[in-house]
Amino acid sequence: MSAEAVPARKPLVSLDEALARLLGAVQPLGETETLSTFDALGRVLATEVRSQLDVPPHHNSAMDGYALRLADLPADLPADLPEDGSPAVLPLSQRVPAGSVPAPLQPGTAARIFTGAPVPEGADAVQMQELCEAVADGSELGAVRLLERPAAGAAIRRRGEDVQAGSVVLAAGHRLDPAALGLAATVGAATLTVARRVRVALFSTGDELAMPGEPLKPGAIYNSNRFTLRGLLQQLGCEIEDLGIVPDTLEATRAALRAAATQADLILTSGGVSVGEEDHLRPAVQAEGQLDLWQMAIKPGKPLAFGAVRRPGAADRQAWFVGLPGNPVSSFVTFLLAVRPLILRLQGASELAPKTYPLRADFNWPRADKRREFLRARLNAQGGLDLFGNQGSGVLSSAVWGDGLVDVPPSTPIAAGDLVRFIPFTALQ
């Protein structure tokens, strides 16, 4: 082949550009369902949650103690524990447990009150019981001796100080974590309208792949990506159709794609998208739909296939297709950086990018790569980051050992003490 006939190598695509293409191509699915708030963990809100009440719904006590009127205390009662213990004594006029409705506080008296109980009208402070002494005065309820003067409003949770009636407490697009479910319940939301789950068809190609538990033949490897990707999809709340390992033939691969496209919103594979004679996935996707193959400027990672597969019997419908690299860490990292935001976009989530944190590198990384690197690291007891010794794309133990990824810009060496951008794995769930 002459020099003129050699095709030009396509330039590498930055991760940001690849993400812009992915997210620009797809739209939220737009289909919703209504669930019990109990069952909505990890789902994405399709409609906002607006409070119909103040939270708290009434002034209530933040602790066990005594509700009182500051005007009934001696003006010279100190704010600190007096050395002689001389105090103010107030008779008790009522006992207020949580869930009760107290009477207005009688002037010159105090009310025994418990955490969460409504504060009687007229009371303007609650003194914690540790700064009081119970006094037996012959009456049924007794009296209380205050050892120091509380501040105005002490230990009183004000009505509406957390949430005011009519306010939006959870916006559409919010991905529901346990705290969000608790907040929804706090404002009385028994059910939530959420985006339906994204349906993902997952399969692997390669005659060299075996399943754990099977004898490992010469030249074979166990299919770790199937387990990693399935777990990542489960964390994102997807419905998964696992089609297993597809034989390395063009017809079998095309048949798997057609079967996957019947119901799936997204088809996800790893490995096999190249120009090799035994890699049938690329021509199969091209025959059943359309495919773009990008070389991303990231490490680990680089190859990413994105396209669509026609849905059989529905000319106007298609399933999106993403082909990940075959190396275990490359597949894992590329899923987190590219497929995760794509799935969140389909769910209608408002936050697609993970949170990053500036942390101190307690390692040296002098061999800067031209590509943007994502190094597996973990937090140490000194608040810095240690690096896993082997950053190879096949070393999956680095992801188990690590707490997250150090995001290294292209051609940027790192010296111990430098601040680096850290993405915790917890922010990528």
Closest CA to 276 of 226, 185, 206, 346: 206
pLDDT digits (tens, 9 = 90+) for 174-186: 999 999 999 999 9
Q: Is the confidence at residue 2, as pLDDT, over 50?
A: no
Q: What is the DSSP letter of 337?
A: I
Angle 281-288/250-261 helices, nearest 10 degrees?
50
pLDDT digits (tens, 9 = 90+) for 239-264: 999 998 888 889 999 999 999 999 99
Fold of 60-157: Molybdopterin biosynthesis moeA protein; domain 3 (2.170.190)
Is the Cβ–Cβ distance between 407 and 300 less than 8 Å?
no
The H or E element spanning position 405 is strand 404-408
The H or E element spanning position 65 is strand 65-68
Query: Which CATH number describes the domain made up of 357-428?
Result: 2.40.340.10
Q: What does the buried/exposed string (b/e) look like for 146-174 if buried means 16 or more CB atoms within 10 Å of the residue's CB?
A: bbbbbeeebbbbebbeebeeeeebbebbb
Task: Give the CATH architecture of domain 32-55+171-195.
Answer: Alpha-Beta Complex (3.90)
Q: What is the DSSP letter of 361?
A: E
The H or E element spanning position 269 is strand 266-270
Alpha helices in 280-338 (DSSP H): 281-288, 328-334
pLDDT digits (tens, 9 = 90+) for 262-273: 999 999 999 876
Q: What share of the chain is helix, strand, coil (3-state, %, to 5)?
A: 20, 30, 45
Q: Determine the average pLDDT of the residues in 28-55.
A: 97
| Residues β-bridged to residue 36 | 191
Greatest pairwise CA separation for the chain in angstroms:
111
* Domain spans of the chain, in order of start: 3-29+197-347, 32-55+171-195, 60-157, 357-428
Burial class (CB in 10 A: 0-12, 13-18, 19+), 385: buried
pLDDT digits (tens, 9 = 90+) for 360-419: 999 999 999 999 999 999 999 999 999 999 999 999 999 999 999 999 999 999 999 999
E strand spans, 150-238? 156-157, 168-170, 191-195, 199-205, 209-210, 221-222
Distance CA 92, CA 97 (A): 14
Name the superfamily (CATH) of residues 3-29+197-347: MoaB/Mog-like domain (3.40.980.10)
pLDDT digits (tens, 9 = 90+) for 44-86: 999 999 999 999 999 999 999 999 999 998 876 666 545 444 5
Instruction: With H, G, I as helix, E, B as strand and everything else as coil, classify residue 218.
Output: coil
Question: Any residues with CB less than 8 A from the CB of 29 and at least 6 apart, and which?
Answer: 195, 196, 198, 265, 346, 347, 348
Token reading at 344: 């969140």
